[in-house]
Amino acid sequence: MLISSATNPRIKHAGKLLKQRKFRQQHGEFVVEGVQAVAEALAQGWRLRQVYYHDESVRSEKALQVLDELDARICIELTRPVLTRLSERPENPAELIAVVAAPRDDLARVPVSDDMLAVVMEEPRDPGNLGAVIRTADALGVGGVVLLGPTVDLYGPKTVRATMGSLFAVPVAHVADVDGLAAWLAKVRETAGELRVVATVARDAGPVHDHDFRGATVVVVGNERRGISDELRAVCDAAATIPMTGAAESLNSAVATSIVLYEACRQRAAGA
pLDDT given at position 145: 98
Residue 95: the pLDDT is 95
Instruction: Determine the residue type at 166.
Output: S
In this prediction, the residues of the chain whose per-residue pLDDT falls under 70 are 272
Which alpha helices (DSSP H) does the chain contain, by range?
A: 9-19, 21-27, 35-43, 61-69, 80-86, 127-140, 157-163, 178-192, 230-233, 253-270
Specify the pLDDT at position 244: 84
CA-nearest of 142, 145, 111, 141 to 131 is 145
Map out the domains of the chain with their CATH numbers: 2-101 (3.30.1330.30), 107-270 (3.40.1280.10)
Question: How many Cβ atoms are within 10 Å of 80's Cβ, its own excluded?
Answer: 13
pLDDT value of position 119? 98
Distance CA 183, CA 32 (A): 33
| Residue 142 and residue 166 in contact, taking contact as beta carbons nearer than 8 Å | no
Residue 220, SS3 per DSSP: strand
Residue 245: predicted pLDDT? 82
- Residue 127 phi, psi dihedral angles, 5° rounding: -60, -30
75-111: per-residue pLDDT in tens? 999 999 999 999 988 888 999 999 999 999 999 999 9
